[in-house]
């Protein structure tokens, strides 16, 4: 049996909308993108959504928007040491300095007890990550942010469907950034989206995604059937060539939005299937603690079913790489559980962090992996996964007994 890491569901609606867009020859950001933004915002429970070309761009633009609200280039952003590298990259791309904090070994998320000691007079924001869809401790993070007058931007790349104390992930900070990459619950193949409750943030974000233009309308009419913008020449120079801020070029296009609209159409069904798979696979890991462990779903939360993290315990009679090889031989695809960005990603070496400064992040990076829980997996796949894990652990335990 084959268990690939991810999948994509392309609906009939998506196919129809793609063909309509191709026939219209209006393929740049237009009515489909705006419709996707409206539905995504409604789905999350946010007032505004601004679609962009990737989850990394979503992080970077959310951060870059802070320049309009008092931030200065070179200011600091506190973020967890363990995440997909895009989190750290986006801080640098936005012109800020990432300040890394270790994570909690059980939740995989930033340890709030370590945040305050990392704050300086240059700190402008906290960028927590809901890693593998598990919500970070947002009450503690928001409390720290309020006391120090900091912005909070959620990296919710993997947190579609996650809830925290009755609220959706993505509505817990000033802005939040979602990835719409192909393996995610809501996908546009490539893409990302920033959501916020504040119209002033959204206006700046719409400018940033298009080179910093003065155009900030919710929907640009240039790429619609009308094609006439009453504001374009209304007060002097062509507004499309007035640039108010340093910007990016990262708009979502109509074909991506078409796929995203189809994905939203099946959102609840996909979420339900993936949630059931995640719960069953978490249960399959439980008997093998402490040699193998994963996160827990607490009563106050729902984990967004992005993937199942598995961490090899310190005294286990096998290594992460041996488990990965076993899974691969049995056609179960997996991914390592990222790297500790400041000490294990060479690109961040210039920041001067030293190996050993983030023991939990480094341990998870060296001993963790994650496997898919996607909607194309059913009970037979889950049973196969459970048997494969059991056979591996028992075989390695038997080898250890024989050796001793």
Residue-wise pLDDT tens digits, 104-115: 999 999 999 999
Question: For the whole model, what pTM was predicted?
Answer: 0.93
- pLDDT for 95 equals 98
**What value does the mean pLDDT take over residues 11-24?**
95
CATH of the domain at 67: 3.40.640.10
Last residue within a domain, chosen from 228, 243, 265: 265
**Would residue 116 count as lying in a domain?**
yes
Last residue within a domain, chosen from 265, 292, 321: 265
Residues 271 and 173 in one domain: no
- pLDDT for 214 equals 79
Residues 219 and 340 in one domain: no
Residues 137 and 244 in one domain: yes
Give tens-digit pLDDT for 44-95: 999 999 999 999 999 999 999 999 999 999 999 999 999 999 999 999 999 9
Q: 229 falls in which pLDDT band (50, 70, 90)?
A: low
3 pLDDT more than 60: yes
Residues 88 and 180 in one domain: yes
Give tens-digit pLDDT for 23-54: 988 898 889 999 999 999 999 999 999 999 99
162 pLDDT more than 60: yes
Q: 404 falls in which pLDDT band (50, 70, 90)?
A: very low
225 pLDDT more than 70: no
**Would residue 148 count as lying in a domain?**
yes
**Would residue 364 count as lying in a domain?**
yes
Residues 341 and 379 in one domain: yes
Exactly one of 130, 148, 160, 184 is catalytic; which is it? 184
Residues 156 and 271 in one domain: no
Last residue within a domain, chosen from 235, 265, 295: 265
Give tens-digit pLDDT for 316-341: 999 999 999 999 999 999 999 999 99
- pLDDT for 237 equals 72
Domains in the chain, number: 2
Residues 168 and 108 in one domain: yes
- pLDDT for 84 equals 97
Residues 238 and 365 in one domain: no
Residues 175 and 280 in one domain: no
**Would residue 4 count as lying in a domain?**
no
Q: Give percent above pLDDT 90 in the chain.
A: 88
CATH of the domain at 319: 3.90.1150.10
Give tens-digit pLDDT for 98-137: 999 999 999 999 999 999 999 999 999 999 999 999 999 9
Residues 52 and 159 in one domain: yes
**Would residue 367 count as lying in a domain?**
yes
Residue 130 annotated to the active site:
no
Residues 103 and 168 in one domain: yes
- pLDDT for 39 equals 97
| Helix/strand/coil (H/E/C) assignment for every residue in the chain | CCECCCCCCCCHHHHHHHHHHHHHCCCCCCHHHHHHHHHHHHHHCCCEEEEECCHHHHHHHHHHHHHHHCCCCCCEEEEECEECCHHHHHHHHCCCEEEEECECCCCCCECHHHCHHHCCCCEEEECCECHHHCCCCHHHHHHHHHHHCCEEEEECCCCCCCEECCEECCCCCCEEEEECECCCCCCCECCEEEEECCHHHHHHHHHHCECCECCCCCCCHHHCCCCCCCCCCCCCCCHHHCECCCCCECECCHHHHHHHHHHHHCHHHHHHHHHHHHHHHHHHHHHHCCCEECCCCCCCEECCCCEEEEEECCCCCCCHHHHHHHHHHCCECCEECCEEHHHHCHHHHHHCCCCCCCHHHHHHHHHEEEEECCCCCCHHHHHHHHHHHHHHHHHHHHHHHHHC
267 pLDDT more than 60: yes
**Would residue 6 count as lying in a domain?**
no
Residues 178 and 280 in one domain: no
- pLDDT for 230 equals 65
**What value does the mean pLDDT take over residues 231-238?**
67
**Would residue 126 count as lying in a domain?**
yes
- pLDDT for 233 equals 62
Q: Which domain holds residue 380?
A: 267-403
**Would residue 1 count as lying in a domain?**
no
């Amino acid at each position: 049996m084959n268990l690939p890491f991810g999948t994509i569901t392309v609906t009939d609606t998506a196919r129809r909308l793609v063909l309509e867009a191709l026939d219209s020859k209006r393929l740049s950001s237009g009515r489909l993108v705006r419709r996707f933004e409206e539905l995504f915002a409604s789905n999350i429970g946010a007032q505004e959504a601004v679609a962009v070309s990737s989850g990394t761009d979503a992080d970077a633009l959310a951060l870059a928007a802070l320049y309009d609200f008092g931030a200065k280039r070179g200011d600091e952003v506190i973020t967890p040491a363990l995440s997909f590298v895009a989190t750290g990259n986006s801080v640098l791309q936005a012109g800020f300095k990432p300040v890394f904090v270790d994570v909690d070994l059980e939740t995989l998320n930033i340890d709030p007890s370590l945040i305050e000691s990392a704050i300086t007079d240059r700190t402008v924001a906290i960028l927590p990550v809901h890693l593998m869809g598990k919500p970070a401790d947002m009450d503690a993070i928001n409390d720290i942010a309020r006391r120090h007058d900091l912005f909070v931007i959620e990296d919710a790349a993997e947190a579609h469907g996650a809830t925290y104390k009755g609220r959706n992930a993505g509505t817990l900070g000033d802005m939040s950034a979602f990835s719409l990459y192909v393996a995610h619950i809501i996908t546009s193949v490539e893409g990302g989206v920033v959501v916020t409750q504040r119209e002033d943030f959204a206006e700046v974000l719409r400018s940033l995604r298009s080179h910093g233009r003065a155009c900030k309308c919710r929907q640009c009419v240039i790429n619609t059937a009308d094609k006439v913008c009453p504001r374009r020449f209304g007060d002097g120079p062509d507004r499309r060539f007035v640039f108010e801020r340093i910007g990016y070029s990262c708009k979502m296009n109509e074909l991506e939005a078409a796929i995203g609209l189809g994905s939203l159409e099946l959102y609840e069904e996909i979420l339900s299937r993936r949630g059931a798979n995640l719960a069953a696979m978490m249960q399959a890991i439980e008997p093998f603690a402490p040699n193998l462990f994963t996160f827990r779903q607490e009563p106050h939360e729902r984990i967004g079913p992005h993937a199942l993290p598995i961490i090899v315990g310190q005294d286990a009679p096998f290594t992460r790489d041996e488990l990965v090889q076993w899974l691969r031989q049995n056609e179960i695809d997996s991914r390592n559980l990222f790297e500790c960005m400041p000490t294990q990603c060479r690109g961040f070496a210039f920041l001067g962090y030293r190996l050993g400064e983030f023991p939990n992040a480094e341990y998870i990076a060296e001993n963790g992996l994650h496997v898919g829980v996607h909607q194309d997996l059913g009970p037979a796949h889950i049973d196969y996964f459970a048997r494969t894990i059991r056979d591996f652990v028992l075989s390695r335990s038997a080898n250890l007994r024989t050796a001793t």
